[in-house]
Amino acid sequence: MAVKVIIPTPLRQYAGKQESVEVNAKTVAEALNSLTSQFGDLKRHLYSDEGKLRSFVNVYVNDEDIRYLQKEKTAVQQGDTISIVPSIAGGSGIAGTVRSN
Amino acid sequence: MLRVAQTFIEQIHKHGVRDYPNECCGALLGLEEEGHRTVLGLLPLVNQRNDSPRNRFSITSEDVRLAEKEAKAKGWELIGWYHSHPDSPARPSEFDRQHAWPWYSYIIFHVANREPREMRSWRLDDDRAKYAEESIEFVSGGAR
């Protein structure tokens, strides 16, 4: 089934500068696998070295967060749109408890 | 190079001082033209890390989508993010590196005991191994 994957702006440079890529897939996992097979440089920004989706990478199917569906096993239908959206995290890493003493 | 007008520098400083000793965060909206980025607007956001806000920040994917919509509505792009390092240098931490993507500009600024200090911008390398500093051009006045 053909589904559209929207490529987030920061990662378009690794996907032939395309805003979206059409892939054939029955699940989110298959769609992302197809995407990263076509565009290998995308993989390190989506997956950890252990092959899991990075903790800050969120995937939506037609505006539904897959965390509340069947995660990467979520089925996709012909014409669905998959969006990849980061959450942004970071910080100094210096323990606040130390400073508050 | 990242061009940032003085008015936005002041807004970011105020946000960091107001939220001290917690980290503050927000989105940078703007445009990239001929390799030069210009910040044209800010979207201050709420740090969602309630468990450890003094040394961590988090922006939800819903807020990221909101920031993208805000930028698009103005004909701009979501070009990056800012966050404060209270009592800590304006350099990316290992935790910052692990949670970043290339292309975005990441402004980090040091707030020392409620006083705004150094502000620097960073971009993650393609191989995710390290950041390169992006020079900030401080522009007087308003948006451009």
pLDDT in tens, B44-103: 999 999 889 999 999 999 999 999 999 999 999 999 999 999 999 999 999 999 999 999
Asked if B137 and B4 touch (Cβ cutoff 8 Å), the reply is yes
A91 alpha-carbon distance from chain centroid:
22
Percent residues over pLDDT 70 in chain B: 98
Per-residue pLDDT, A97: 33
- For strands A2-6 and A81-86, give the pairing: parallel
Residues of B in Cβ contact (< 8 Å) with A81? none
- Is the Cβ–Cβ distance between B47 and B16 less than 8 Å? no
Q: How distant is the Cα of A93 from the closest Cα of chain B, in angstroms?
A: 5
Is residue B9 within 8 Å of B143, Cβ to Cβ? no
List residues of chain B with CB under 8 Å from any CB of chain A.
21, 23, 25, 49, 52-61, 64-65, 77-78, 81, 83, 85-88, 92-96, 99-104, 106, 126-128
What are A42-70's pLDDT values in tens digits?
A: 999 999 999 999 999 999 999 999 999 99
Question: For a pLDDT cut of 90, what percent of chain B falls above it?
Answer: 92
Q: What is the DSSP string of chain A?
A: -EEEEEPPGGGGGGTTT-SEEEEE-SBHHHHHHHHHHH-GGGHHHHB-TTSSBPTTEEEEETTEEGGGTTGGG-B--TT-EEEEEE-EEE-----HHHHH-
Task: Please determine, for residue B104, whether its predicted confidence score (pLDDT) is greater than 50.
Answer: yes
User: Tens of pLDDT along A60-101?
Assistant: 999 999 999 999 999 999 999 999 999 999 998 765 433 322
In this prediction the ipTM stands at 0.91
- For the beta carbon of residue B136, count every other beta carbon within 10 angstroms: 18
